[in-house]
Amino acid sequence: MSMTKTRDIFGPFRVAISGLVYTFRTQRHMRFHVYMVLVITLLGLLLNWRLREILILLFIMSLVLVAEMFNSAIEAVVDLVQPTYHPLAKFAKDIAAGAVLISTMLAIAAAILIQIGENRLEEIRLSLTGESPNLTVIQRIVLGSVLLFFVVIIGKAIGKRGMLLKGGLVSGHAAYGFFLAGTATLMTDNALVAAITILLAVIIAQSRWEAKIHSVFELTLGATAGVLMALVLFGLLPK
């Protein structure tokens, strides 16, 4: 009787460990995430992060591993139930992969914020909320790129066609092309340089139209978003 109870107690643990080992052996992304956990933990120790910071990061990175395991499990079940292509099967896999992406981005953001530190974050906050934000050109470009990324993603989410990296309501290529063109135009007094950058942005947009990835309306939305972002960061904000 005692042997049966022992098997009942340790059986689920053996099954769980078997699942961990199988996922690690068969899923390349899982191995990558595990290696990254080890690397980031070692970096945290070398960079003298506090114990609280390391624990927070380990907790967030564990969410990445859990999301990856759920992703692998969902893919296996979908392939078992629907071995041939089906839009709903693809939809289920895409959602699971999206969960992994969100958790990974959260872990990266947490690592960056921990490394920056509270003091530096407070300096950045004061710089942004002051009467005259003092941002360098590189900081403005990085800030604009990040904000534009969210604008494009939200636009693609609102639309009913296309994918994250292809198609969609707002053209990311046009948005970034015209953002950089607008930035160059506002920062230079050379009309030739401005004309060349605008021409390159138009060529980028035109290539997406010729490839039938975006319509003229979608390209116009992307270009408008890029130009407005450049105007706000390099035209309205104090130099």
What is the Cα–Cα distance from 158 to 120, expressed in whole angstroms?
36
**Catalytic annotation, residues:** 68
CB 202 within 8 A of CB 189: no
Q: Which two three-digit tokens encode residue 92?
A: 């289920």
The DSSP H or E segment spanning 170 is: none
CB 106 within 8 A of CB 63: yes
Question: Nearest Cα to 27, choosing from 58, 56, 67?
Answer: 67
The DSSP H or E segment spanning 121 is: helix 118-129
What is the Cα–Cα distance from 157 to 139, expressed in whole angstroms?
27
Cβ-based neighbours of 208, under 8 Å, separated by 6 or more = 171, 173, 174, 214, 219
